[in-house]
Structure 1
């Protein structure tokens, strides 16, 4: 129902919007010097996601993109906006955003002491048409864990962390050299690097989460973290698991690597029956430390392909800019080239494996003796830092949780 509401009217609009959406009005007041008359405020009904998506259908036709929200104040130096001299690596910074499953009820409280964070949640509430801050503060946990709510909540919390970073460590923003986001965290990375507006990021997260939840509900499925012993063969294990699932009645079973997490640790995803085979035969297959993730969907596998149509439709309505700082793709493990590369690769991330290990190798690889930059784990309570420590312990030593 939420997904149909988000998309129902987006394709019907052909004329330019006559008013600035309410959430964008708030951000213009915050970041720009111009004053808007009280009479320019649209009615509350225009804050609904359907109306905002409706407006978004013609954003690309507007010659002036100044209405869009950037995480950077107008007077701030924007990373990548101008040429910079060669810099001491220790003065550079890397920013990392988490994916679904990292937030807990009440985690948001530590960010609310920053005044602008409350404004972000006011905007998020208007864009999403529900109180995301209340959900983060009070739950219930079962609702927060559902993809349709967790993905937007994760993005909103990441935006709050950007504000905290601005307040506490402004040089970390000004000196940022690369940004990466894990799974849905890639949307936060794209907002941070100026590729998409804050509002569009929230809309995309809402559509993505609802579409992936719908795909998850189509069949019993899940995700499984495991450690691969020397000599183990994940490809062969997945084929065995799919054969087992087919023999017990699963049509076109899926079992594959969903996330390259860190050396020897991968996350598999697929039909529940196939994952059960992996669990039951873990010793024979050479796997240890198996752990089911608290997610109901086989994210980043072929089982998520039904979510593509809705996400692409929403993405088509979004104005995308070239990254102002090096921004990494989960699909390729490399930085995005330009706006068209983002438009091409971002939908694939839904059903293709996340190359997180490869991204971190790319970011932190350096010659011996070269110092590591400071890195910032944004709103994951240390989870992203812990993953980095498994890949590069020296880089993790200069990683700070925000």
Structure 2
């Protein structure tokens, strides 16, 4: 059962909380057409009975994950409707002042898994409220698809109408606490890797595990945890395995490696102990079929129904985030077909960097919805100001 505060929020205020940040995308009261994915907007012989939407008149929302957080995020959102109330609900569910932590830090507390996952989740959905206030018709009402990186997937599902804000936040809280505990069971971590075209990541992991066995680790773990973009990966596992990869990076055809400031090997089998707490809380929350296309990190495919959502969110903890594959699924289209507008909603600009590396044509219509100062960052400003080394911090 939920703690009393969550029951109070979800039972007494369900409709109110569901209406926060224009959750339903302000759909018209007239008969709406079924939501379509970007692919569905492409004209075909089969869909001639009903003209397809012009993809350039549609939008896609991308929600960032852990690693995008920074002290001061959310400061530019407080003047928008419902944002303060969202943080007030978060305070009741989490038991601490999330807004103060986001605005003032300290940084070492915000960086902790138990804090940064809820912080990124709430701040990202608060950014949706800003986007709705500034550009509701183009960005919100015409949104046909959403995807989130790791914990960002929960925000994407809330936006799609699949989950209630308060219940999803409680699930994120349980998830973050379970992942933190799993991280403390064995020394482990994550390594951002930029490889040459000939790099063989899985073979490198096999070699790293053999090294671990030679130093007495019986069941070593080392595997690709994030597929970011061509030749961009995050590898996670036992600390000894990651040390081996860094020490032998040149031999393994790695151009650059960087240890990430995280507590454990997320999205590997070392997170197995975190799956049951998440599975249990997902049994308690209400899950509905998404009203728009939402793509799973596990395989890059669209969620089909409620049970599919529950299964994939649990499986995601011990499976690699297939973000590159997800972007290909969202933006694949025939030659000459236009691309939708893409908005990254939340702290950081890492998802824009991965989109630029995966699909330059789709990136042309990308914009970042900032959570601090400026509302949008257009692609030219983005290319000038962003260092791609930050793409390795997504978890």
Scaled by the length of structure 1, what TM-score is found?
A: 0.83
> What is the aligned partner in structure 1 of residue 185 from structure 2?
218
> What is the aligned partner in structure 2 of residue 351 from structure 1?
318
Query: Are 1:21 and 2:8 counterparts?
Result: yes
Alignment of 1:110-125 (within 5 A): 110-125=76-91
> What is the aligned partner in structure 1 of residue 112 from structure 2?
146
234-243 or 252-261: which moved more? 234-243
* 1:72 alignment partner, one of 22, 29, 47: 22
For 2:351 and 2:98, the matched residues in 1 are separated by 23
Q: Cα distance 1:349–1:394, how it changes in 2: closer, same or farther (>3 A)?
A: same
* 2:101 alignment partner, one of 126, 135, 158: 135
4+ residue segments displaced more than 6 Å: none
* 2:329 alignment partner, one of 362, 368, 375: 362
> What is the aligned partner in structure 2 of residue 238 from structure 1?
205
Query: Are 1:89 and 2:55 counterparts?
Result: yes
- Match of 1:149, SS? helix
214-223 or 226-235: which moved more? 226-235
* Residues 10 and 167 in structure 2, CA contact (< 8 A), matched pair in contact too: no
- Match of 2:74, SS? helix
Q: Cα distance 1:69–1:309, how it changes in 2: closer, same or farther (>3 A)?
A: farther
Query: Are 1:198 and 2:183 counterparts?
Result: no
Q: Cα distance 1:74–1:362, how it changes in 2: closer, same or farther (>3 A)?
A: closer
- Match of 2:75, SS? helix
Shift of 1:87: 1.3
> What is the aligned partner in structure 2 of residue 335 from structure 1?
302
For 1:81 and 1:185, the matched residues in 2 are separated by 27
* 2:69 alignment partner, one of 103, 114, 120: 103
For 1:145 and 1:300, the matched residues in 2 are separated by 18
Query: Are 1:181 and 2:148 counterparts?
Result: yes
* 1:227 alignment partner, one of 194, 203, 222: 194
Shift of 1:83: 3.4
* Residues 23 and 160 in structure 2, CA contact (< 8 A), matched pair in contact too: no
Shift of 1:71: 4.6
Shift of 1:339: 0.9
Q: Cα distance 1:187–1:262, how it changes in 2: closer, same or farther (>3 A)?
A: same
- Match of 2:91, SS? helix
* Residues 69 and 198 in structure 1, CA contact (< 8 A), matched pair in contact too: no
- Match of 1:375, SS? strand
For 1:263 and 1:272, the matched residues in 2 are separated by 25
Q: Cα distance 1:77–1:188, how it changes in 2: closer, same or farther (>3 A)?
A: same
* Residues 71 and 194 in structure 1, CA contact (< 8 A), matched pair in contact too: no
C-alpha distance after superposition, 1:72-102 (max 9, x if no partner): 3679207996337521111100000000010
113-122 or 84-93: which moved more? 84-93
Alpha-carbon RMSD: 2.2
* Residues 97 and 378 in structure 1, CA contact (< 8 A), matched pair in contact too: yes
Shift of 1:249: 2.3
For 1:346 and 1:331, the matched residues in 2 are separated by 8
| Bigger RCO of structures 1 and 2 (CA < 8 A, at least 6 apart) | 2
Shift of 1:70: 6.3
Shift of 1:22: 4.0
> What is the aligned partner in structure 1 of residue 359 from structure 2?
392
Shift of 1:121: 0.4
* Residues 70 and 197 in structure 1, CA contact (< 8 A), matched pair in contact too: no
Unaligned runs of at least 5 residues, structure 2? 36-50, 370-395
* Residues 227 and 264 in structure 1, CA contact (< 8 A), matched pair in contact too: yes
Q: How many residues align?
A: 351
For 1:348 and 1:358, the matched residues in 2 are separated by 17
Shift of 1:251: 2.9
Q: Cα distance 1:20–1:310, how it changes in 2: closer, same or farther (>3 A)?
A: closer
Q: Cα distance 1:141–1:73, how it changes in 2: closer, same or farther (>3 A)?
A: closer
Shift of 1:392: 0.7
For 2:266 and 2:186, the matched residues in 1 are separated by 13
Alignment of 1:182-331 (within 5 A): 182-331=149-298
